[in-house]
């Protein structure tokens, strides 16, 4: 199919000496890329463990169904932080911290624009304080004096309150010990988004960073202004309303960052940026609705997905869809496949539901749920993706040819989408979450509850393999799985209530999700009580412990002392 026109990209100017140093750093990273080591075993460097966003950690050798029971497993301690934890915590074992020895480290980012490095195994003695703690809005990290997180009052949206700083899950490149972070701030009345690259051993900035995230592209859409070469969209002009929610992606030396908005405050668009990981130079930018509006990349915090060929997959929310051109040039309520080609993004393929107009006009975002790339499947379509949004319909799409005969949008007299591999409604109700994959089964925890669906030759069996007794909710919840290969599987999830702020950690049987191994409300005297609920929080399992972000703390669960 024909690609969209490329967009010019902008990057922040740096001094000549700094630029030379950055180029040398790029050369070093490029020359060593073939020799780069895989992440240390047990690492959690990105949202839900892998770039396919499967939600499965199959390297857990300590926790099992036999010991994840309330007599042996529970809350070990809490790690206090300065604000809500919306970004998923990350974990790297055996990190040498200068002057403090070697630790298994848990990295936590908060809405106060703070990043912490904690000892992941204890909070006593020398580990009672963080190994290090840094602010992304101090002068050492590129901000002006007096910089602060943006507040919900400024944005006019109370979905996330009171502060809005780091929301998207950062990503770590373990080959260079670098964490990439998007942080939002207000400085002297100006709203700013920055990309930071910090050293995971110290929290110090790297690669002459940070850089301000900005770009200007051609377009007549919402918020555009007349420029010297026609109408243009400027990201910085809409910096207040734009919000980075999807988890960052690091792939082949490039960092990807995506944006939607706060509470649909217009004007906004879906923006996707690519930055060189070694120089922080901007490589490319893509806008989902350049001549329309909205179409944000939100996905309830799900990470930007990528396959082994370097293709990216994202789902957009409500917004303008181009019904005039084929291929389309605007992608509201669509699943998009893109690739980075030199200094521009190309849309390789896409799928848009037949009822996109209805979804858009009734605020039923397709992109309220994240995209999951299934491991290779037997059958006619080995490369599949699964996605579901607010409507609750599950879409199973062939990544190699997303729609039959490139019929990306079935607009005329359609009551379904026959051009994709499979579609069926109500897998678990409305979805503000991502499915999870393990052992040829997909798990959906929607507004009506938790349901498991098995696959046969790459096709979902529409009769559930099992259904859970755990309640659903609005918004819904995203699960993860821990296992030792194909054994000792545990399905983890956090059931939260945004009104009461109560939350419960669940450990369930993935072969029968109605069978509960453990929940944090079982023990007497609230021994295992989870902290106040932070929306879209998911359990992170690493090295025999489970980490759950909450409001003002991260709670750590594991095997109790005998």
Tens digit of each residue's pLDDT (9 = 90 or more) over 512-555: 999 999 999 999 999 999 999 999 999 999 999 999 999 999 99
pLDDT of the residue at 427 = 78
In this prediction, residues 391-410 reach a mean pLDDT of 96
CATH 2.140.10.10 fits 16-559, yes or no: yes
228 pLDDT band, cuts 50/70/90, is: confident
Whether the CA torsion 121, 125, 128, 134 is positive or negative: it is negative
pLDDT of the residue at 227 = 86
Is pLDDT above 60 for 483? yes
**Inter-residue contact 537 to 494 (CB < 8 Å):** yes
pLDDT of the residue at 281 = 98
pLDDT of the residue at 255 = 98
Is pLDDT above 90 for 20? no
The percent of residues in the chain predicted with pLDDT above 70, rounded, is: 93
Is pLDDT above 90 for 468? no
12 pLDDT band, cuts 50/70/90, is: very low
254 pLDDT band, cuts 50/70/90, is: very high
Is pLDDT above 50 for 33? no
Cα→Cα distances 361→152, 314, 365, 445, 511, Å: 26, 21, 10, 25, 39
The one-character DSSP state at 122 is -
**Inter-residue contact 215 to 235 (CB < 8 Å):** yes
Q: Residues 378-398: pLDDT tens digits?
A: 999 999 999 999 999 999 999
The strand pairing partners of 246, in sequence order, are none
Q: Residues 133-170: pLDDT tens digits?
A: 999 999 999 999 999 999 999 999 988 999 999 999 99
Q: Residues 291-305: pLDDT tens digits?
A: 999 999 999 999 999
pLDDT of the residue at 64 = 98
In this prediction, residues 308-321 reach a mean pLDDT of 98
In this prediction, residues 315-336 reach a mean pLDDT of 97
The model carries a pTM of 0.93
Distance CA 460, CA 158 (A): 38
pLDDT of the residue at 499 = 84
The one-character DSSP state at 352 is B
CA gyration radius, the chain: 22
Residue 21, SS3?
Answer: helix
- Could you tell me the two tokens for 76? 């070990």
In this prediction, residues 231-235 reach a mean pLDDT of 97
The one-character DSSP state at 224 is -
Distance CA 471, CA 497 (A): 11
In this prediction, residues 15-34 reach a mean pLDDT of 36
pLDDT of the residue at 32 = 35
Q: Residues 119-133: pLDDT tens digits?
A: 999 999 999 999 999
What does the domain layout of the chain look like in residue ranges?
Answer: 16-559
In this prediction, residues 473-488 reach a mean pLDDT of 96
**Inter-residue contact 199 to 206 (CB < 8 Å):** yes
The percent of residues in the chain predicted with pLDDT above 90, rounded, is: 88
Neighbour order of strands in the sheet with 56-57 = 56-57, 480-484, 487-496, 503-509, 512-519
30 pLDDT band, cuts 50/70/90, is: very low
Residue 7 or residue 517, greater confidence: 517
Is pLDDT above 60 for 3? no
Is pLDDT above 80 for 11? no
pLDDT of the residue at 490 = 98
Is pLDDT above 90 for 282? yes
Is pLDDT above 70 for 5? no
Q: Residues 173-227: pLDDT tens digits?
A: 999 999 999 999 999 999 999 999 999 999 999 999 999 999 999 999 999 999 8
**Inter-residue contact 477 to 496 (CB < 8 Å):** yes
Indicate the average pLDDT of the chain: 92
Work out the number of other CB atoms within 10 angstroms of the CB of residue 451: 22
pLDDT of the residue at 425 = 86
Distance CA 265, CA 164 (A): 15
């Amino acid at each position: 199919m024909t690609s969209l026109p490329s967009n010019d990209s902008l990057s922040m100017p740096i001094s000549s000496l700094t630029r030379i140093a950055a180029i040398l750093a790029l050369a070093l990273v490029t020359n060593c890329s073939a020799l780069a080591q895989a992440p240390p075993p047990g690492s959690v460097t990105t949202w839900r463990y892998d770039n396919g966003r499967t939600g499965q950690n199959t390297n857990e050798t300590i926790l099992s169904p036999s010991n994840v029971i309330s007599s042996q497993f529970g809350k070990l301690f809490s790690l206090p932080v300065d604000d809500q934890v919306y970004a998923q915590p990350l974990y790297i074992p055996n990190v040498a911290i200068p002057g403090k020895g070697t630790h298994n480290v848990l990295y936590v980012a908060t809405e106060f624009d703070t990043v912490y490095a904690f000892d992941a195994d204890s909070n006593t003695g020398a580990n009672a304080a963080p190994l290090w703690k840094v602010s992304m809005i101090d002068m050492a990290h590129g901000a002006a004096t007096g910089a602060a997180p943006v507040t919900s009052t400024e944005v006019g949206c109370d979905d996330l309150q009171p502060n809005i700083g780091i929301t998207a899950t950062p990503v770590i490149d373990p080959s260079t010990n670098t964490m990439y972070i998007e942080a939002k701030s207000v400085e002297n009345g100006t709203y700013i988004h920055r990309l930071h690259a910090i050293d995971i051993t110290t929290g110090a900035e790297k690669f002459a960073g940070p850089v301000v995230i900005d770009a200007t592209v051609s377009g007549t859409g919402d918020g555009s202004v007349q420029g010297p070469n026609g109408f243009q969209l400027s990201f910085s002009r809409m910096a207040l309303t734009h919000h980075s929610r999807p988890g960052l992606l690091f792939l082949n030396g490039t960092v990807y960052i995506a944006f939607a908005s706060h509470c649909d405050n217009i004007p906004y668009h879906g923006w996707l940026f690519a930055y060189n990981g070694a120089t922080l130079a901007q490589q490319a930018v893509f806008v989902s609705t350049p001549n329309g509006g909205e179409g944000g990349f939100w996905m309830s915090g799900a990470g930007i997905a990528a396959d082994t060929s370097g293709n990216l997959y994202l789902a957009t929310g409500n917004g303008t869809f181009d019904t005039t051109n084929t291929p389309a040039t605007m992608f509201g309520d669509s699943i998009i496949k893109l690739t980075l080609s030199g200094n521009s993004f190309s849309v390789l393929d896409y799928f848009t539901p037949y009822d996109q107009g209805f979804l858009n006009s009734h605020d039923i975002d397709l992109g309220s749920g994240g995209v999951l790339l299934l491991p290779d499947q037997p059958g006619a379509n080995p490369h599949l993706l699964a996605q579901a949004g607010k409507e609750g319909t599950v879409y199973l799409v062939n990544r190699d040819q997303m729609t039959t005969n490139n019929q990306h949008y079935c607009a005329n007299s359609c009551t379904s989408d026959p051009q994709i591999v499979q579609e069926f409604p109500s897998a678990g109700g409305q979805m503000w979450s991502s499915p999870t994959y393990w052992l040829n089964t997909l798990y959906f925890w929607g507004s009506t509850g938790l349901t498991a669906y098995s696959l046969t030759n790459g096709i979902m069996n529409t009769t559930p393999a099992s259904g859970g007794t755990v309640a659903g909710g609005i918004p819904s919840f995203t699960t993860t799985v821990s296992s030792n290969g194909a054994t000792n599987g545990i399905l983890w999830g956090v059931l939260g209530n945004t009104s009461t702020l109560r939350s419960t950690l669940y450990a369930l049987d993935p072969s029968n999700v109605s069978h509960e191994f453990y929940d944090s409300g079982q023990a007497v005297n609230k021994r295992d009580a989870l902290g106040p609920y932070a929306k879209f929080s998911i359990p992170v399992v690493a090295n025999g412990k489970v980490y759950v972000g909450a409001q003002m703390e991260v709670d750590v669960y594991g095997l109790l002392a005998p």
